[in-house]
Amino acid sequence: MISRISSLRDSSLTATVLTRVPLLYTNGPDASLDRPDHVRAGSSLTWFENRLAVVQDDANFIALIDPEHGRVDALPLPAGEGGLRQFDDVRGNKGLKLDLEACLTVPGPDGDLLLVFGSGSKTRRESIVTVSASGAIEITPATGLYRRFRATKTFSGSELNLEGVVFTDGWVRFFNRGNGEARDGFLPLDAACDIAWSELEAYLRAPEFHRVPELHRVVQYELGTLDGVRLTFTDATATHCGMFYVASAENSPDAVTDGSVAGSAVGVLEEGGRCRWTELRNADGGMCSAKVEGICAARSTNGRIYLVTDADDPALPSELLEVTLSGPWR
């Protein structure tokens, strides 16, 4: 039996943008690394050691942000074909990108371990990047795991598109974004499933020898609409108030093509299955039209979260949003 949960808009909740900061690298561009001057296509957000890590879906860099002082550093990932680290339609190499869309940190005795997951929306996008606290980087092809995600139609629906991942209590929860199109008799699904961290860790050490982890507790969600456009998962995070998520109302034709954005929502998945959300608004009360793709709780102030945006334009920087929450989020 697959659980199905409807997320309900809760008028007693508010999520208000306090600040919007364009993410510009402190050290500027570097042509030798194919690094632009800004973070582009921010797609997920997590704390890594004492900084915020921003993953980018079309650039082989992880941005490391000190939100208190505003410093933004770039951790380069291995270059792609031709030594390039930027991928887009202008260059004609968009199809070669890793499409890194989800990240989490797992605490350990030697510090945090950062894991970054490709979306799986195409077979080239089935890699998992690990970064240790010391800065060691490894990219692991994970074809078997993504094949299992895709074959589990109660989770992937018509198109696999991993967009969020959360570590909590020894489990890793994956979120599929249902912004695809119907195909082969299946509908696009917003869904979550759990994998035991012990199984995933063993698989990552040697995917060719360890069995593919089992998927547990698949849950499907109806996230509501904004201006008639379906809200679909773009990221999630664990907080002391529960598991929070962000969703965007993007009118996209399939899982790989961008579309117009009506707005974004912040929601909470509570124990017991209740799920609630509110639209993201600017300080003047108007709808925030940004496409939000990452979420993380602030460490220094209760009732605050950080969000990261994707402008869907390689020439424009992603923004870090500080957001205040009010109402009964617990």
83 in any annotated domain: no
68 in any annotated domain: no
77 in any annotated domain: no
Q: Is the dihedral angle over the CA atoms 221, 152, 200, 307 positive or is it negative? A: negative
Measured CA distances, 244 to 96, 148, 257 (Å): 31, 26, 26
50 in any annotated domain: no
Q: Please give the chain's pLDDT, 330 residues, in tens.
A: 789 999 999 999 999 999 999 999 999 999 999 999 999 999 999 999 999 999 999 999 999 999 989 999 999 999 999 999 999 999 999 999 999 999 999 998 889 999 999 999 999 999 999 999 999 999 999 999 999 999 999 999 999 999 999 999 999 999 999 998 899 899 999 999 999 999 999 999 988 888 999 999 999 999 999 999 999 999 999 988 889 999 999 876 654 566 688 899 999 998 878 999 999 999 999 999 999 999 999 987 778 999 999 998 999 999 999 999 999 998
- Total domains in the chain come to 1
Q: Return the number of other C-beta atoms located less than 10 Å from residue 259's C-beta.
A: 16
CATH code (residue 315): 2.110.10
116 in any annotated domain: yes
Domain membership of residue 270 as a residue range: 3-21+101-131+140-326
316 in any annotated domain: yes
95 in any annotated domain: no
Using DSSP's 3-state secondary structure scheme, residue 321 falls into strand
69 in any annotated domain: no
